[in-house]
Amino acid sequence: MNLSDGPGLFGYVLLAGALFSLGIYGVLTRKNLIAILLSVELMANAVNLNLVAFSRFAQTLLGQAFALFGIALTVVEVGVGLAIIILVYRQWSSVEATDASTMRG
């Protein structure tokens, strides 16, 4: 493989780190449950990007297989997360995370 074919491993890791940092920022600063769910998805995509990048540079398909399983788990997470958000909205007519914290016993 010619290393001048693309941005290189450092570029992919830097992009994934930036995506993960944006996701953490979104989780810590947002009050809307949908925005928090989107931030978690952004963090999961950063992890998948790292898996594929390391797989490409190691010239194996193992990281890409793990990324596919990660995408499948992310789809399930979105389904469960949206179901919880819908239930919170039905109960309190709001999707704010502070309203969901009142569910604690």
pLDDT tens readout for residues 56-99:
999 999 999 999 999 999 999 999 999 989 988 888 888 888 87
52 lies in some domain? yes
Q: How far apart are the first and last CA of the chain?
A: 57
Model pLDDT for residues 15-27, shown as the tens digit of each residue:
999 999 999 999 9
- CATH number for the domain including 20? 1.10.287.3510
19 lies in some domain? yes
46 lies in some domain? yes
What's the pLDDT at 103?
Answer: 66
Domains: count for the chain: 1
105 lies in some domain? no
From residue 89, alpha-carbon distances to 29, 36, 78, 83, 94 in Å are 20, 15, 16, 10, 5
77 lies in some domain? yes
Which domain, by its residues, includes 46?
Answer: 7-93
